[in-house]
Chain A
C-alpha cells in the first residue's frame, strides 16, 4: 500500500511537470510564430495569404508536441503502467 502511494505521488508530480513544461514551451513557441507572422504581415500585407497556411502548419507542429505530452500524462493518470509492478 505504501509503495502504491509512493508511485502515485511521484507520478502525479511527473504529470504536473510534463504538462506544465510542455505547455510553457508550446505557448512560447506559438507566441513567437504568431508575433513574427503579424510583423511580416504588417511589413508586407500582400504576403499575408501566402503566409497564413504556413503559420497554421507551424503552429500545429509546435502544438502537437504539447498535445502528445498531455496524452502521455493522461495515460499515466488513468492507466498507469508503472502500477503494474506493485499490484502483482
Chain B
C-alpha cells in the first residue's frame, strides 16, 4: 500500500499538486477531465433525483424528499415570477437547473480534500500502473474557471436568444446600435452608433466575466482554505475545518442563489423594451 501513497515534500508542493487538474491535450485544446466528469455525474444525479421525485409525486401527504424538492422548485418559481415579466417558458427551468447544478457542484467541497484524490490515486496506480505523483484530481468543478465561464457564456447566449425572440432580429440589432445613449436626429444616431456598439459589447463581456469570476473565485478560495486546514496536524484539523465547513454551506447556497438571480435578471433585461 505504501507505494500507492503520494507524500508531498512540503506544503507548497502539496497545494500545487491539489491545484493541478487532470488534463488531456495541449495548449488551447487542454481538456480538464476531472471538471468534466464530476460536473456531468453530479448534474445527472440532480436531474435523476428530481425526475424520480416528480414521477412519484403524490397529491396526498408528501414525503420529506418531495417536500424539499417542492420547496426548491417553489422558491425558484417565485423568484422568476417576481423578476421576469417576459413570456418565455424557458427562464424558469433554466434558473432551476443553474441553481441546483451549482449547489451540487459546489457541495463537492464538503468531501475531505484528500478523499477523492486519494481514491483516484489508488485506482490509477493499481489498475493502470500510473505514477502517484502524476495523478491529479480537482473535485470541485466550479473552482475551475473553465466550468463557470462555460456556464456564464451559455447564460449570456440564452439572453441573446431571448432578446432576439422578444424583439425580432431587426429590433435586436437596432438596440445594439442605439441602446445606452438614445439619439433623436439621424445624424446624432449615426454618430452615437459606434459608441453604443462599444458600450454594449463591454456590457456583454463584463457580464460574462463577472458571473464566471464570482463563482470560481469563491469556490477556489474555499477550496484553498480547506487545503490549508488539511495541512494542520490531524488532531487539530476540526478546529479550523468545522467552522469553515459550516460557513461554507452558506457560501455554497448563496453563490448558487446569486448566479440564479443574476441569470433571471439578465434574461429579464434582455426582453425589456428600452
Contact = CB atoms under 8 A, between A and B. Distances in A.
Question: Is chain B found bound to chain A in the same assembly?
Answer: yes
**SS class, residues of chain B in contact with chain A:** helix
Interface string B233-274: 000000000000000000100110110010000000000000
Interface residues of A, number: 15
A71 B217 contact: yes
A78 B12 contact: yes
A60 interface: yes
Interface centre among A57, A71, A74 (most CB of B within 10 A): A71
B214 A79 contact: no
Contact of A79 (B15, B218, B257): B15
Nearest to A80: B12
B58 interface: no
A8 B261 CA distance: 41
Contacts, number: 50
B164 interface: no
Nearest to A56: B254
Contact of B258 (A60, A71, A72): A60
A64 interface: yes
Contacts of B16: 78-79
Given A78-B16, A79-B19, A68 B224 contact: no
Contacts of B224: 71, 74-75, 78
A60 B221 contact: no
Contacts of A57: 257-258, 261
A56 B250 CA distance: 10
A67 B257 contact: no
B220 A71 contact: yes
B213 interface: yes
B143 to A, nearest CB: 9
Interface in B1-44: 11-12, 15-16, 19
A9 B99 CA distance: 42
B254 A60 contact: yes
A45 to B, nearest CB: 20
Interface in B183-238: 213-214, 217-218, 220-221, 224-225, 228
A71 B221 CA distance: 4
A48 interface: no
A80 B87 CA distance: 49
8 contacts: A57-B261, A64-B217, A68-B218, A71-B217, A74-B221, A74-B228, A78-B11, A78-B15
